[in-house]
Amino acid sequence: MRTLVSLLTITSLAALGCASDSSTGSYSNAVTGVDCRPDPGSYMPHDPDAPPTVDCSTPHDDVPQPGEPCCEFPQPGCDKDGCCDDDVIVEPEPPPPAPPDVI
């Protein structure tokens, strides 16, 4: 009986752990791309049906240096440090194909 109770407790804890991980979503820093956890005090919720709007991979006129933060934070889907829900980050364009080698 003690083994059954222990097994049920472990199974319940494992199920809770999986549920809590999936409910937090996936977050990345919009500038660096590194996985992160948003600051609950500054995170701004976003409309899950809205298209991605955070684009820190494309140079903008207001950002003179590549790699500088190009976005103002917080904004919907992000916290004050640029930790954003992956659903709001615009995916960067793939690089163009390499030209063929000339022989």
Q: What is the DSSP letter of 84?
A: E
Per-residue CA distances from 50 to 31, 69, 94, 101 (Å) = 20, 22, 23, 43
Residue 89: closest CA among 103, 101, 78: 78
Strands (E), the chain: 27-29, 83-85
**Cβ neighbours of residue 34 closer than 8 Å, sequence gap 6 or more:** 28
pLDDT of residue 58: 60
* pTM for this entry: 0.58
At 53-66, the pLDDT tens digits run 888 766 555 544 44
pLDDT of residue 60: 53
At 69-94, the pLDDT tens digits run 467 889 899 999 999 999 998 887 78
pLDDT of residue 70: 61
At 7-42, the pLDDT tens digits run 444 444 343 333 333 345 799 998 888 999 999 999
pLDDT of residue 28: 93
